[in-house]
Amino acid sequence: MVDESGLAIETTDMMSETPISMGSSEYEMIELFRKINVSRPIALTLACLAKGREISSQSIEMVSGLRQPEVSVAMRYLRENNWIDIREEKKSKGKGRPIKLYRLTVPMDRIVSKIEEEIIAESRLVLRNIERLKHIA
């Protein structure tokens, strides 16, 4: 959950009853991702998944302060990059949709390397365009 100041406080994952929270390293990770232009929902979602534990989308919402559509957008990006495993589990009580549980399948260093490659490729393209502009001008 997020308190009035916008900081995440500890919550519990419904499936495992294990407390889930973000510490200083997760907040630093989010800040660094944002500095390299990773979107806020993706940065927060990666920080929630960084410990390698399986976590529900509802727990991600509560810990990160993201809304459900923002978590869905982040999960789509992670899924397109084959960075997560999705497992559905039926609710223990009542009816309704099964709960989706997410877990990173790729180590964070590989994810960071992939993001780095994308940034370098974009930078090279920008530099090529600048050089072309210099020749035209």
pLDDT of 5 over the 50 cut: no
Co-location of 51 and 118 in the same domain:
no
Co-location of 115 and 129 in the same domain:
yes
Task: Report the C-alpha gap between 129 and 116 in whole angstroms.
Answer: 20
pLDDT for res 36: 96
pLDDT of 24 over the 80 cut: yes
Co-location of 52 and 112 in the same domain:
no
Q: What is the pTM of this model?
A: 0.79
Instruction: Taking residues 77-83, report their average pLDDT.
Output: 97
pLDDT for res 19: 52
What does residue 100 show for φ and ψ, rounded to 5 degrees?
Answer: -90, 130
Co-location of 100 and 123 in the same domain:
no
More confident position, 31 or 4: 31
Of 115, 107, 102, the closest CA to residue 33 belongs to 115
Q: Which domain holds residue 84?
A: 11-106
What confidence tens digit (pLDDT) does each residue in 90-104 have? 877 777 888 899 999
pLDDT for res 133: 96
CA dist list (Å): 86 to 26, 75, 100, 118, 135: 22, 10, 7, 25, 50
